[in-house]
Amino acid sequence: MFDKIASRYEGTNRILSLGFDRRWRRRAADRLCPRPGALYLDVGCGAGDMCIEILRKAPGCRVVGIDPSEGMLAVGRAKVRAAGVSDAVSLLPGDVLNLQFPDNSFDGAITAFCIRNVTDRLMGLREINRVLRPGGSLVTLELTDPVGLMKPLFRLYSNMVIPLVTKVMSCVSAYRYLTDSMADFPQADRFVTVMQDAGFADAEYFRMTGGIVTIFHGQKPV
């Protein structure tokens, strides 16, 4: 599915999120606290925006992005080249359920709008935990069920605006999947428990924009 929408992914997201997606990624990258000289993993890197954001925060670090979609990786590689950061960012085919890296390889890891799509989230989080160095952080940015006033507003938005925009952008089924997968994603408290079960300590979360997105954070114990 992501191969099919790769070329329209960024534009559609920008429109659907009213430009908020950039701010959400920036906040998630802040939470990772990247530092020069360190090595980070971006799981489900897609078109590479988060990799570039991490590098912007900490010039001199290195980022490896993995994604099973060759179409998304191709868009990402072009973007990385255009940003002039090919020496610091590598985008590789990969699956969070079976990461190709040895234990304790990365200083930190991030996933943005990815873990919702993973069939076995506990297994995926365990794999991320395995490849993190002790003390390394995982930051997960994910679309979640809105709270309070945002709940009815978002329902209206997803019933009226999303179908219209996705029709114009010719990706109706992909974005119907988006609202279905949002409904399928566990509540924030429950996802924190899954992070703990996967071996993350001090797991916590921060809602943004009325809970439409949530940043989850946890650490591999030292």
* Residue ranges binding ligand SAM (CB under 6 A): 2, 43-47, 49-50, 67-69, 72, 95-97, 112-114, 117-118
**211 closest CA partner among 147, 154, 156, 165:** 147
Nearer to ligand SAM, 114 or 171 (CB): 114
What's the rounded Cα separation, in Å, for the pair 47 and 53?
A: 12
Nearer to ligand SAM, 150 or 174 (CB): 174
Tell me the closest approach of the beta carbon of residue 135 to ligand SAM, in angstroms.
24
Name the E strands within the chain.
39-43, 62-67, 89-93, 106-112, 132-143, 201-208, 213-219
Nearer to ligand SAM, 117 or 219 (CB): 117
Tell me the closest approach of the beta carbon of residue 2 to ligand SAM, in angstroms.
4
**Phi, psi torsion values for 95, nearest 5 degrees:** -130, 130
Nearer to ligand SAM, 49 or 107 (CB): 49
Decide: 109 and 43 in contact? Cβ < 8 Å.
yes
Tell me the closest approach of the beta carbon of residue 20 to ligand SAM, in angstroms.
12
Nearer to ligand SAM, 138 or 148 (CB): 138
Tell me the closest approach of the beta carbon of residue 87 to ligand SAM, in angstroms.
21
CA dihedral 187, 167, 73, 50 (to 10 degrees): -50
Q: CA 106 → CA 52, 96, 145, 182, distances in Å?
A: 17, 14, 30, 29
User: ∠92-194-42 over CA atoms, to 5°?
Assistant: 20
Decide: 98 and 71 in contact? Cβ < 8 Å.
no
Residue nearest to ligand SAM (CB): 46
Nearer to ligand SAM, 24 or 221 (CB): 24
Tell me the closest approach of the beta carbon of residue 96 to ligand SAM, in angstroms.
4
Give 160's contacts (C-beta < 8 A, 6+ positions apart).
none
Tell me the closest approach of the beta carbon of residue 192 to ligand SAM, in angstroms.
21
